[in-house]
Each structure stands twice: as C-alpha cells, then as structure tokens.
C-alpha cells in the first residue's frame, strides 16, 4: 500500500470537507497472455498489481457530488440528478459508475471524494478500470448496497462503455476487483468462471517496460477491432448454426467462410482464435512450472498482436525485438489494448539490472523517448483500507 498517498488523501479530504473519509483502494493489472480475447468470449490471464488508485470518500445529505483529483490537481462539483460525461475526462470514470448504479435502480446519495494513485496513466496498466472499481467498491460500501463483486466489475465496465466511449471487455475491471497476491486469474470471459493459478516464479519476475507512448489512437482503433471480430462472427453465422462468438469458430471454418471474403477481418479473427489456444497452453505451462514454454507463448502472442491484429507500434516492437536476443528473457509481449503502454517481460530476476542498463539508453537513442521500468508485484483486489500507521503519523487536524 502507498502510505504517502493515503495520508495525503486523508489530509486533503479533512481540509476540504471537514470530516474524516473512509478509504478504499483498487489496483491496476498486468496480463500474462490473452489480449483482445475478453470481448470475444475467450480467456484472459491477468493479475492485480501493487500499483493502485486510492479513494477517500464520505456520503452527503444532499445529491451533490464533489470530486477532487490530486493527480491532476483539479476539482469538479456536479449533481446526481444531472449526470453527463464531463469534457475534462478524468471525472467520467467516477460519474459513469454513479450513473450505472442509478440505472440499475440502486439508491445512492451525493458524496465527497478525493482520489489519487500510483498507476502510471496511459501505460496499459488499467488506471481507468482502477478508478471505476475503486468508486464502485466504495459506493457499494458507504451506501450499503449489497452488490456482489462480480456485479461491481460489470458496473465498472459499463461505466467505461458509456462515459469513456471505450467498448472494453471485462478483464481489467475483473482483475482489479478479484486480484489475489501471488496468483494470476484464469478467467473464462464467456461463463465468467475463474480459477486462481499460483505464480511459481523460481527466480524469475515480470518486468514492465513502459514505452511512454500514450495510446491516443487506442479507443477508436479498439472499437474498430471489436467490430471486425463481430463481422467475422457474422460471416460464419451465415453458414453455421449455433455460433455466438469467435469462441465457437474453428480455424477451418474461418478459412472457409471468412478468408475468401474479407482478408483483414480474417487476420483479426485468426489472431484471436490462436491467442485463446496459446492461453490454454500457457496456463498448463505455468501450472507445470515450465517458464521457458510460457515465455515462448508470450513471444508468439506479441507476433500475432503485431502482424495479424495490428495493435502494436514501433516502440513496442523495438522493445520486444531487443529482448529476444537476451538469454535471461524467456518471453515478452505488448500488454493491454496496444498502440503504446508497456511490454511485459518474463526475465531472470538477477538479470534485470543489467538488461535495464542496456535497453534504456538503446531505446532512448532509437525512439527519442524515455523508457521507464517497474517490476510487477501481484496484489489483492479492491478493498477498504484501515490505516495501519499510528494516529501520531496522521496529519494534524486543521
Ligand atoms: C483493454 C481493455 C480490456 C482488453 C484489453 C486487451 O485493456 O480494457 O478489456 O480488451 O484492452 O486485451
């Protein structure tokens, strides 16, 4: 937990609103393999990480919503009765959740909220899902709504669709709510059944390399990919009964009914079908402790994302190509929606320092951008925080 952020939120909250807030945290996520499969009713393998969004919140007597973000040092005041997306962008991940709760018939009142986090924004670690899930989790608690964790994840996802305009799948919100330390979540995005798979890393770690390319194009291209997959499904449905999603389609059917008609759509769908197969193999490798085989699936995944699904970019490709020559790196791939953000690298722990000292200047010289790196530590999902630090360390009352 990031104590500094929690202390700051508490003190700003008390200063602005004159009372002590309740505190909540919801994490960002990594995904080991299974990209762009969630909205195709496929499988994903995410884990929540120790970078999170923190929220200080208290219910109000009226219908006003007052939000303060410390990250952007900005604030808005609005009303529960007139919730619409805000041009500033950042409030939408909170307001969208409040609106979803209303739409589902839950009675909530106004609230004051201060939030901040240490999930790097726009880096593919799902800071937006973390804000949505922190909000959904907190509102559920302070208004005693009794909503299940699964439904909180779906509410957060719908908020992203309607207030941020990204037709995302369920992976990020699910990982943020359900994360478990030392485990990855093997989630079936069709049935929403899941299992926790223990991470046995034996001297290896997941290293994130952040391109610092903000995925500006990502939301339009993301929605286009989703439509292309739906188009592929529609083409097969013309000939085969009982097909609902790419999950139901074999490579043979794709070759027969889609390839001759629309090549781009064919490539997109081919990637998704292969990625689901890779994921199932990867889960077995992880369970058997075969990290070398897991790494191979990750490199293959990147190859598909870059050449067939076309959601990579030169910066991501540079980083993955670079580490292919490093024996200490068993696998690497772009992570998340694409067009920027981070690569995830399966690397020998004691080789991290050396790799970082080589790849950082090489990336900076080739791409004229800074390279950041983090080691992905797994963490638990959304929860209320009971400050562990003694009262004496809390900010003075003003
Ligand atoms: C984004 C979306 C997820 C998922 C990934 C790609 O992170 O929010 O639902 O589709 O992209 O795997």
- Token digits for 348? 């020998």
Tell me the best of 217, 221, 306, 336 to mutate to test the pocket of ligand 1, counting ligand atoms within 8 Å of each CB and taking the most: 336
CATH 3.30.230.10 positions along the chain are 3-199+380-391
Q: Is 372 within 8 Å of 214 (Cβ atoms)?
A: no
pLDDT, position 386: 86
Q: Are 52 and 117 in contact (CB under 8 A)?
A: yes
Residue of the nearest CA to atom 1 in ligand 1? 337
Parts of the chain belonging to CATH 3.30.70.890: 204-376
Q: Shortest CA distance to 50 belongs to which of 388, 387, 374?
A: 374
**What's the CA gap between 9 and 285, in Å, rounded?**
42
For residue 377, the model assigns a pLDDT of 95
pTM tops 0.75: yes
**Ligand 1 atom 11: the closest Cα is on which residue?**
337
CA of 393: how far to CAs of 25, 233, 372, 386, in Å?
Answer: 20, 58, 31, 14
Q: What are phi and psi of 166, to 5 degrees?
A: -105, 125
User: Regarding the domain with residue range 204-376, which homologous superfamily does it belong to in the CATH classification?
Assistant: GHMP kinase, C-terminal domain (3.30.70.890)
29 close to ligand 1 (CB < 6 Angstrom): no
pLDDT (0 to 100) of residue 5: 97
Instruction: Please report the pLDDT score of residue 216 as a whole number.
Output: 64
b/e code 159-185 from CB counts within 10 Å (16+ = b): bbeebbebbbbbbbbbbbbbbbeebbb
| Alpha carbon of 343 to ligand 1 centroid (Å) | 14
**Quick one: pLDDT at residue 334?**
98
Residue among 96, 168, 339 to mutate when testing ligand 1 (max atoms within 8 A of CB)? 168
Catalytic, out of 79, 172, 263, 310 = 172
Is 255 part of the annotated catalytic residue set? Answer: no
**Any atom of ligand 1 within 6 Å of the Cβ of 36:** yes
Is residue 54 within 8 A of residue 107, CB to CB? The reply is no
Residue with tokens 């509410």: 155
Q: Give the distance (Å) from ligand 1 centre to CA of residue 380.
A: 20
- Give residue 61's pLDDT: 96
Distance CA 41, CA 196 (A): 19
DSSP-derived secondary structure letter, 392: G
Binding site membership of 42 for ligand 1 (Cβ less than 6 Å): no
Half-sphere exposure of residue 355, counting CA atoms within 13 Å on the CB side? 28
CA distances for 225 relative to 37, 216, 229, 338, angstroms: 11, 15, 6, 11
Among 30, 43, 172, say which to mutate for ligand 1: greatest number of ligand atoms within 8 Å of CB.
172
CA of 132 to the centre of ligand 1 (A): 14
Rg (CA), the chain: 21
Distance of CA 182 from the midpoint of ligand 1 (Å): 22
> Which CATH number is 3-199+380-391 given?
3.30.230.10
35 within ligand 1 shell (Cβ under 6 A): yes
Nearest residue to 346 (alpha-carbon basis) of 288, 303, 282, 284: 282
C-alpha of residue 339 to centroid of ligand 1, in Å: 12
Structure tokens, 282: 């990867």
Q: Which of 44, 30, 126, 32 is nearest to 331 (CA)?
A: 32
pLDDT in tens, 68-80: 999 999 999 999 9
What does each C-alpha distance from 349 to 137, 200, 271, 328, 353 come to in angstroms? Answer: 35, 13, 31, 9, 8
List, as one string, the DSSP characters of 269-324.
HHHHHHHHHHHHHHHHHHHTT-HHHHHHHHHHHHHHHHHTS----HHHHHHHHHHH
Residues of the chain below pLDDT 50: 397-398
Q: What is the pLDDT of residue 252?
A: 98
Q: What is the pLDDT of residues 137-156, one digit of tens each?
A: 999 999 999 999 999 999 99
Q: Would you give the end-to-end CA distance of the chain in angstroms? A: 25
CB atoms within 10 A of CB 145: 16
- DSSP 8-state secondary structure symbol assigned to residue 76: E
What is the predicted pLDDT for the residue at 389? 54
Ligand 1 atom index nearest CA of 37: 12
pLDDT at position 219 is 81
């Amino acid at each position: 937990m990031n104590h500094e952020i929690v202390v700051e939120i508490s003190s700003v909250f008390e200063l602005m609103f004159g009372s002590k807030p309740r505190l909540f945290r919801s994490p960002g996520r990594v995904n080991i393999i299974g990209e762009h499969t969630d909205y195709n009713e496929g499988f994903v393998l995410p884990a929540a990480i120790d970078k999170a969004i923190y929220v200080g919140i208290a219910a109000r007597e009226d219908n006003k919503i007052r939000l303060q973000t410390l990250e952007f040092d900005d604030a808005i005041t609005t009303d529960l009765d007139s919730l619409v997306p805000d041009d500033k962008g950042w409030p939408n991940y909170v307001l969208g959740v409040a609106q979803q709760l209303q739409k589902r018939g839950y009675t909530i009142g106004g609230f004051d909220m201060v939030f901040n986090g240490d999930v790097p924004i726009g880096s593919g670690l799902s800071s937006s899902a973390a804000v949505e899930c922190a909000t959904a989790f907190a509102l559920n608690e302070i208004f005693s709504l009794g909503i299940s964790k699964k439904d909180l994840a779906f509410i957060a996802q719908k908020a992203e669709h309607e207030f941020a305009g990204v037709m995302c799948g369920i992976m990020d919100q699910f990982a943020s709510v359900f994360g478990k330390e030392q485990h990855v979540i093997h989630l079936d995005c069709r049935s929403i059944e899941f299992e926790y798979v223990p991470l046995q890393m034996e001297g290896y770690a997941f290293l994130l390399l952040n391109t610092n390319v903000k995925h500006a194009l990502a939301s339009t291209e993301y929605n286009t990919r989703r439509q292309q997959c739906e188009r592929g499904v529609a083409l097969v449905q013309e000939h085969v009964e009982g097909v609902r999603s790419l999950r139901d389609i074999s490579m043979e059917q794709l070759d027969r009914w889609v390839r001759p008609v629309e090549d781009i759509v064919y490539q997109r769908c081919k990637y998704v079908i292969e990625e689901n197969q890779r994921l199932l193999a990867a889960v077995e490798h992880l369970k058997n402790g075969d990290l070398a085989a897991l790494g191979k699936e990750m490199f293959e995944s990147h190859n598909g994302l870059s050449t067939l699904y076309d959601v990579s970019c030169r910066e991501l490709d540079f980083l993955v190509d670079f580490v292919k020559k490093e024996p200490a790196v068993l696998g690497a791939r772009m992570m998340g929606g694409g067009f920027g953000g981070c690569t995830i690298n399966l690397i020998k722990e004691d080789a991290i320092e050396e790799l970082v000292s080589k790849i950082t200047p090489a990336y900076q010289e080739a791409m004229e951008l800074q390279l950041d790196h983090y080691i992905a530590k797994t963490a638990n999902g959304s929860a209320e925080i009971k400050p562990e630090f003694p009262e004496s360390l809390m900010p003075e009352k003003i």
